[in-house]
Amino acid sequence: MAVMTVNVVTPAGLVYTHHSLFIVVRVEDGELGILPNHEALIASLVIDEVKVKRVDSAEHVDYIAVNGGIIEVQDNLVTIVADSAERDRNIDVSRAQRAKNRAEKMLELSKTKQDTDQLKRVEIDLHRAINRINVSKHFNL
């Protein structure tokens, strides 16, 4: 049975590494499923979860919140390079909720000031916080 090695790397170092039978990521054009022996590719990731089906059990799935980045697939090695990434079990939900609340307040302020640059930054911050909260919900399912 062919398997893939999945590595998630950030500037802080290796966040995740395991063998996998299947992974799902979100790229700019939609969802992308990757099986062993997938053709080589490089694609841009958007802020979303990475779903990794592990080889050790049919029900064992890991979820990682990534804040964009790049995915490279080559010779059953999947490498994700992201600015930041967190496994579901490592997410500080209260911190993510505070970040969401801050971003929502800043979003309203940015709209009243009509500052489009700040508005874009705040929307990204809000999306990241919501992604982290959503991924954290997979832990202990």
Give the CATH number of the domain where residue 39 resides. Answer: 2.60.15.10
| Token couple for 46 | 């958007």
Answer yes or no: do 70 and 109 share one domain.
no
Answer yes or no: do 83 and 96 share one domain.
no
| Token couple for 98 | 């505070």
The C-alpha atoms of residue 38 and residue 25 are separated, in whole angstroms, by: 14
| Token couple for 112 | 């009243």
Answer yes or no: do 57 and 124 share one domain.
no
Predicted confidence (pLDDT) at residue 140 exceeds the cutoff of 80: no
Confidence of residue 141 (pLDDT cuts 50, 70, 90): low
Domain CATH for 129: 1.20.5
In tens, the pLDDT along 44-64 reads: 999 999 999 999 887 899 999
Answer yes or no: do 80 and 124 share one domain.
no
Domain that holds residue 13: 4-88
The count of domains in the chain is: 2
Q: Which residues contact 99 (CB under 8 A, 6 or more apart)?
A: 125, 128, 129, 132
Across 56-65, b (16+ Cβ under 10 Å) vs e yields eeeeebbbbb
Answer yes or no: do 74 and 101 share one domain.
no
User: Among positive and negative, which fits the CA dihedral 43, 79, 14, 22?
Assistant: positive
Answer yes or no: do 27 and 81 share one domain.
yes
Answer yes or no: do 66 and 12 share one domain.
yes
Predicted confidence (pLDDT) at residue 15 exceeds the cutoff of 80: yes
Q: Which residues contact 68 (CB under 8 A, 6 or more apart)?
A: 44, 45, 46, 47, 82, 83
Predicted confidence (pLDDT) at residue 109 exceeds the cutoff of 90: no
Name the more confident of 111 and 94: 94
